[in-house]
Chains A and B, each alone.
Chain A
């Protein structure tokens, strides 16, 4: 449905997106994860036909985003991060206006449908300036849905909402995601974990990782961390646990719990429980921590940073070598002379 090949965008000298390549199938919910300034909004603006790329090819539904911009805009629904609205219009007025711009048939019906869908029916006649942030977000979503687009592009759809509203919006996105292709950007990692089928991690305009949340976790968590809470003194248990196969480290943390790290090949918990019970120790809690997307994200971003830092060091080291070998040959030449 969405095909992006080698997308590059320069703002003047500043490279915002570099050689980005990815695709999204019909009915997929794709998440864009990245720190602020990573290039998520720029990519979305290019996909919606707002601005053209510096180079690369982008097609949505088979339509090229530059050559067939109008067709692309007909099948894409977009909600920018700032949720722009006209404060002096009423909700239904505004939705009718956007519907007309999108050439929607059966306009009144569609407006009513979409108001129902985002659950804003009781405020349909209010002025937009009187609405709360959560409601405005919903009106923005309604606007993105009014022409029943095949592709929805949402820039940080849950930003600034309170927890209850966040849950509502996420539910809505999940529902929509069943039938349509959704591309959303976020830097709330748990959100990406919950609603996205696949996640793209972007940093500094480049793709850092692309996979399902589960696969990413598997890929990048080498180890499994297990925490054990015993009723009594944990010290004798540490010896027992150190003796288990696959266990790399055993420590006692400041809450007097045992934290052990295993190689992660198999789930170590059953063995832990069995061995501790066999030693007649009273177990209160045993739980495993899987690396959250947050850890993966930080790890990836850090990896990139260290790579980038290593680069100049590497170059400097290579230069130094070249220099010294030059000196040596010169000296050798002098000696010969």
Chain B
């Protein structure tokens, strides 16, 4: 009967209310159908099953029935307290009803002859009627099989119950366990008879870190997002899905310029950073990344923009002392409410948790600028994949909020090269600023260049800069040196330079004008062409 209804109208979805899950499910779970949720031990099946009901009660006032085959009802009541779900209270209010079908070790059961699970079905129907339930969770199907020796009977009976749930007009979630994170959908071939909708939870050990993901395998007759999506389980909130593709490239683009906190750097960037852009500052240790961050924050506070600093490398005291060394008083800024500094070891949480807690802080503090020092420190916490997802999630989030973001990344070699971080995120950032050491006649000098500035012209030169008590001071371009970015600077004598330029100019005489002012003609023209193509 259900099939007849749905063949005429599209499958409707029931918003679950589970943090961002409805985004990947494109609306929620299919209404009036059963969905199989499969996962290995510890993958979060029970949490999802309970949260599905809890969110229904809390957010939509939809009553619920929880059928447990595994943990006893009292265990579940206790365990779910930590998520802030008072199941016992809801039971008293008539919003929730348990069907406790967990095995009782004190009762010995002997099988003799044919039986069915009619009593269980009657109990479920009774509970649904009693609280007028709209949602039913069954946790977990595999445990039923262990209670009876005749598996074919259990299979038949579960099918009957799943079918009956449909006719009761409830949206049901059935959990089932699987032995491998990448293997058959569920044990006992459960997916063969409850196959309308299948979702899989995973808890994969990768590089010594656990990564939780949820995948919607199929929703019969309706749309959903494909592939694994990371999620995390938080004490106060339960399960929170972190959809990446949900945040589409829809964010507004701002033409408003905002100062980098350094007038000379602003000039190099063609007038400053764009308001909702993400800037990556890359350089070896000691090249001035934290200084760039400090100036960026100070510049923001100076024009009345609230700033957030996420520091994963240095302690609060170090940061504040360094800032004073460059003439910036972080302490005063913080007192004035213009700055908030979050200092912590990246290892204290997973990347998924970091993303969520940072989002929470941003929502609450509402900064106009966010600086993260450094991405490289976060990189070591998770897998490459998790890191990528973190960066995508974070950049799209702050863009959505029209926040200017400045990230730093540490290159592994002193003289040049790129960091792994850059390889992963360079395409996600709008601007890239490189800070490099340049060795010249026994001196270590620092160079700065704007490699990329999306949507704007910028200075393509590599400029020398000095750091003193007032901060960063940009100087002249390195005219007589090539190969700075590759990490092998070669000094070129003025005579050679002259010869190269004159040959070059002869070939492209029509472009002669202005080339003399460029630092290294060929590179400049090359990068200009690239620049114009990308912008």
A binds B: no
- Please give the residue numbers on chain A whose beta carbons come within 8 Å of chain B beta carbons, in ascending order: none
- Please give the residue numbers on chain B whose beta carbons come within 8 Å of chain A beta carbons, in ascending order: none
